[in-house]
Amino acid sequence: MTAPVFVVEGPVPGDCTYVLDGAEGRHAVSVKRLRAGEALVLTDGRGEWSEGVVAAAEGKDRLVVEVGPVRSEPVERPRITVVQALPKGDRGELAVETMTETGVDAIVPWAASRCVTQWRGERGTKALNKWRATAREAGKQSRRVRFPELPETTGAASTKEVAALLADADLAVVLHEDRDAPSTALASAELPTDGEIVLVVGPEGGVSPEELAVFAQAGARPYRLGRSVLRTSTAGTAAVALLLGRTGRWG
């Protein structure tokens, strides 16, 4: 089994004796029940990490760790960004959790015209913070040291902002379930070996014709995953898994 991952605030410690305390220390001692001699990984969630061995557990929330050198994980290529339309209820956190565990590099919340859920004011700030916390916990659970990027600003992206992302992409994908519309199977799309893949997942009601037209002007094409129609909370995860397998990042 791989070593559990814990997040540190600030620079990742290296070649030193380090005390892991606070919420992460409490989780390591009281939940993971780590003891002397066991291995762990410390990371900032942005690609810097170090391996350590527990020297001692002190109380219920302090772990003394002998830490090795700091290492850096390079950014994966091609980079995969998923633009996720806002789902209803807690399905947004489900989408973020499973996409993080699968290996997505960035997640952008999108206020599509057919979204029932709307992020405005304090509600948007709270919802985005939930997405960030979910990505952090899922990153730790899946033993990642580079967690998915989410927007620093509050609120969800507009259709115009999503179109700008698509215009800069090396492959711009809009998942579209309309069988009568001309679309290409994502499994047969020509993928870049470098650069950026941007993939748009629509809301429960689908991507509107007007949005499809805006995205087409930005260079995006409609693609389908298969014969079945997935929920908005699972379509991104399925697509990311397919892309990671095809690009060789899962090799």
- Dump pLDDT digits (tens) for 89-135: 899 999 999 999 999 999 999 999 999 888 988 888 899 999 999 99
Going across the sheet that includes 16-20, the strands are 5-7, 39-43, 48-58, 62-72, 16-20
Residue 179 has pLDDT above 80, yes or no: no
Domain boundary residue among 72, 97, 126? 72
Average pLDDT value over all residues in the chain: 93
Confidence of residue 191 (pLDDT cuts 50, 70, 90): very high
Q: CA-to-CA distance for 103 and 101, rounded, in angstroms? A: 6
Q: Residue 182's pLDDT is what?
A: 58
Reply yes or no: is the peptide bond before residue 78 cis, omega within 30 of 0.
yes
Q: CA-to-CA distance for 129 and 228, rounded, in angstroms? A: 32
Amino acid at 20: L
Q: CA-to-CA distance for 193 and 229, rounded, in angstroms? A: 28
Q: Residue 180's pLDDT is what?
A: 55
Our measurement of the distance from residue 38's CA atom to the centroid of its chain's CA atoms, rounded to an integer in Å, reads: 28
Same domain, 32 and 148: no
Q: Residue 64's pLDDT is what?
A: 96
Please count the CA atoms within 13 angstroms of the CA of 167 that sit on its side-chain side: 9
Q: Domain of residue 170: give its range.
A: 79-247
Mean pLDDT across 164-177: 95
Domain boundary residue among 49, 72, 95? 72
Q: Which residue has the higher pLDDT, 50 or 182?
A: 50
pLDDT in tens, 49-87: 999 999 999 889 999 999 999 999 999 999 999 999 999
Q: Residue 123's pLDDT is what?
A: 84
Residue 177 has pLDDT above 80, yes or no: no
Mean pLDDT across 140-158: 92
Domain boundary residue among 34, 54, 72? 72
When divided into structural domains, the chain yields a total of: 2
Q: CA-to-CA distance for 95 and 233, rounded, in angstroms? A: 5
Going across the sheet that includes 79-85, the strands are 106-110, 79-85, 196-201, 171-175, 221-224, 184-185
